[in-house]
Amino acid sequence: MKNVLGDKKSILILVGPALLVYTLVMLVPVFWSLGYTVFEGNAIVGFTFVGLDNFATMIGDTRVHDALWFTIRYAFVITIGQVLFGYALSLLYVFVLRRSSSIVRTLVFFPVVLPTVAVALMFQKMFEVAPQNGLVNELLNAVGIPSVDWFGSAGSAFLVIAVMDIWRSMGFYGVLLYAGLVDIPEETLESARLDGASGLKLVRHIVIPLSLPVLLSSIIFSINGTLKVFDSVLALTNGGPGTTTSPLTLYMFQTSFTYGEYGYGSTIALLLTILCLVVTVFIFRSSRRDLTKG
């Protein structure tokens, strides 16, 4: 075994094909796009070199600032929602439902495997107000509250997006964190209970610290995903009303493929990449500190 893995040539043969595919499919387009940031144009009219003009435009572009702010807000709210609800669900599975939790786990997990566009269309119909009231507005009318145009203003549209995405993914985080909670040794919990800890105190002082690694990795996973949200927002509101629910991904997509400005679109993509990088480095740094403290 050591002979095989120690030999450079055999490593190359084993890793080579996968590395080639990865380079061609992932790395080459990334660098290609990086190159585009100093050009302007599109596939129809060709490209011209413009130096750092795209970066100068981006710094002054209010649409980019709005999109960046929306992306950060979205990532923040959805991550907290997903992880919080997921954690609450996992506590439910471990401490309340115990053995009968498997069917509930499966049912709550089900929305995760549904196509995002299908879920978005369903929520569009549920929250609609024209040409006829959707489910939510009917319920509001039944208790005497007038219908709300959910997709007509930025705040309520954001709320609908948040509800949709949290509902869809909390099952996933529930299962993920459940796996982490199950790892907590039963003896620790027993001894804590004997010492008089129960309910919330047990959770706060024993369960959370012991499940911190899996909680942290859930947060990292969630932030990375939510910073790059695209299909659920596109399918639900198309960035509307106007451009108030456009994350950076959607703005970059529109700039490149609707307005035909590949260079500027790549620049926005670079901004998003740097944002993801900064967030990831920040989280890794802080998580590493936690682990060494023990």
Partner 1 sequence: MTTRHSRRRTLALVAGVGSAALLLAGCAGGGGGGGSSSPDEFSLLTNSENAELPAIFTALSEDACATENEALPFTSDSVPQTNLDQRLQLLAGQNALPVVYSAGNAPALTKTLDDSGNVLDFESTLTELDAIDNIEPAAISTIEALYGGFKVLPFEYNIEGIWYNKTIFADNGVEVPETWDDLVAAAGTFDDAGVTPFSASGEQGWPITRLLGNYIFRTLGPDALQKVTDGDAKLTDPEYVEAAQAVADLGAEGYFGQGVGSIDYDTATNQFLNGSAAMFYMGSWALSDFNDAERNQVGLDNIGFMPFPNVEGGEGDSSQIAANVGLPATFNAKTYDSKVGDWLGCIADNYGSEALASQGRVSGFKVNTPVDDLPALTQEVQERIATTEQAVLWFEALFSTKATTTSQTNAAQLVTGDITAEEFMELVQNDL
Smallest gap from Cβ 129 to partner 1, in A, equals 4
Nearer to partner 1, 124 or 217 (CB): 124
Smallest gap from Cβ 278 to partner 1, in A, equals 18
Nearer to partner 1, 49 or 76 (CB): 49
Nearer to partner 1, 13 or 24 (CB): 24
CA dist 67 → 42, 206, 239, 258 (Å): 22, 40, 10, 17
Smallest gap from Cβ 186 to partner 1, in A, equals 44
Q: Which residues bind partner 1 (CB under 8 A)?
A: 28, 31-32, 34-36, 38-39, 41-47, 49, 128-131, 147, 149, 151-154, 238-243, 254, 257-260
Beta-carbon neighbour count of residue 189 at 10 Å? Answer: 17
Smallest gap from Cβ 40 to partner 1, in A, equals 10
Nearer to partner 1, 225 or 240 (CB): 240
Q: HSE on the CB side for 23, CA within 13 Å?
A: 6
Cis peptide, bond prior to residue 241, ω within 30 of zero: yes
Smallest gap from Cβ 33 to partner 1, in A, equals 8
Smallest gap from Cβ 212 to partner 1, in A, equals 29
Separation CA 277–CA 280 (nearest Å): 5
Nearer to partner 1, 35 or 115 (CB): 35
Nearer to partner 1, 47 or 109 (CB): 47
